[in-house]
Amino acid sequence: MTVAKQTIVIGAGIIGASVAWHLAKAGARVTVISGSGAGGVATPNSFAWINASWGNPEVYFRLRTRAMAEWTRLARDLPTIPLSWCGGLCWDLPVAELETYAAEHSAWGYGIERVGRERAARIEPNLAKLPDFALHVAEEGVAEPVAAARALLADAQRLGALAHTGTVDALTLAGERIAGVVVSGEVLNADEVVIAAGVNSPAIAATAGVTLPIDAPPGLIVHSRPHRKLLNGLVLAERLHMRQTAEGRLIAGSDFGGGDPGADPLATAHGLFAAMKAMLRDADGLEFDFHTVGYRPTPADGFPIIGRARDGLYVTVMHSGITLAPAVGLFASREILEGERDPLLGPYGLSRFTR
């Protein structure tokens, strides 16, 4: 009888949770170590738009659309995941660029509908300011990120994974191979260690001489108190991106779902909240509740780092982690357990930075 592979996953955000769940589901022995508890650090501060929208090359579009399909598969396995294919109404580019995006992505198979004012009003009846021209993508959606991570981790534990609260101080080596971790002074051994520690990943990797080029730009999101339903889906307008969460909060961020907080984040948050309120009809009773500032784990070229960094060490660090999580978990577990690297991961190895 073969003994199941022992794996350690560092991180319990959406990426660590997905990797851990897929490993446990495939029969590996899994220990998840997290300093933050279930739910992560960037993950709770995310806008959580699942998309393959404008601005990326086709090869990355293909990974993102595969990840979108994998969300549907994951939600079938775990129906408690709050996933909604609510659609996205987008006019955050000048019209000519919207047209270019629509032509390019439609040719790639993305379900883009070109809409005018009347159709936009039917999609989002509570918009006070309607666009003359926008693009609607019905297949875009949202997974409430903390609830999704918690559902994955809870089910991973049901499948036998162990959850360990603590801080990984260092990776350990046995010859040239990564042999485990030191966590809060205790040594834990594994056949494979997965770093899914978001913006803190470089510090952990550095203890084994591995350099991860990760930036951490901030993103501010403003939250209203829960309110009766005003939005059906994602609204990606020129000034801001907004949506309504499963618990009824209207949330907004500028610049790709969460912009620069500036010198005075509270003032920025109130300005953004006022702009969101002005975009909605019948929103007089909408009240500011709080804002978050999250740090996006962003590899230096903007694309994910997914793959083996050295023997016994696998890295999964990325922006758009909410979109990508189900595919990353599936592909990482297959590569770790079966040695099979999905072709869609081709461009995303760490070695691209050293070549």
Ligand X SMILES: Cc1cc2nc3c(=O)[nH]c(=O)nc-3n(C[C@H](O)[C@H](O)[C@H](O)COP(=O)(O)OP(=O)(O)OC[C@H]3O[C@@H](n4cnc5c(N)ncnc54)[C@H](O)[C@@H]3O)c2cc1C
Residues at the interface with ligand X (CB under 6 A): 10-16, 33-36, 40-43, 45-49, 167-168, 196-198, 200, 204, 219, 221, 253, 257-258, 294-297, 318-323
Nearer to ligand X, 47 or 348 (CB): 47
* Shortest Cβ 140–ligand X spacing (Å): 10
Nearer to ligand X, 130 or 172 (CB): 172
* Shortest Cβ 328–ligand X spacing (Å): 9
CA-derived radius of gyration, the chain: 21
- Whose tokens are 């040695």? That residue is 339
* Shortest Cβ 254–ligand X spacing (Å): 10
Q: Are 168 and 10 in contact, with CB atoms under 8 Å apart?
A: yes
Nearer to ligand X, 102 or 181 (CB): 181
- Whose tokens are 């949506």? That residue is 243
**Pairing mode, if any, of strands 133-137 and 88-90?**
antiparallel
* Shortest Cβ 190–ligand X spacing (Å): 14
Distance in angstroms (rounded) separating the CA atoms of residues 244 and 232: 8
Nearer to ligand X, 12 or 188 (CB): 12
Nearer to ligand X, 71 or 101 (CB): 71
* Shortest Cβ 166–ligand X spacing (Å): 6
Q: Residue 104 pairs with which residues in a beta bridge?
A: none
Within 13 A of 209's CA, how many CA atoms are on the CB side? 7
Distance in angstroms (rounded) separating the CA atoms of residues 26 and 34: 21
- 149 to 16, 66, 321: CA distances (angstroms): 8, 19, 11
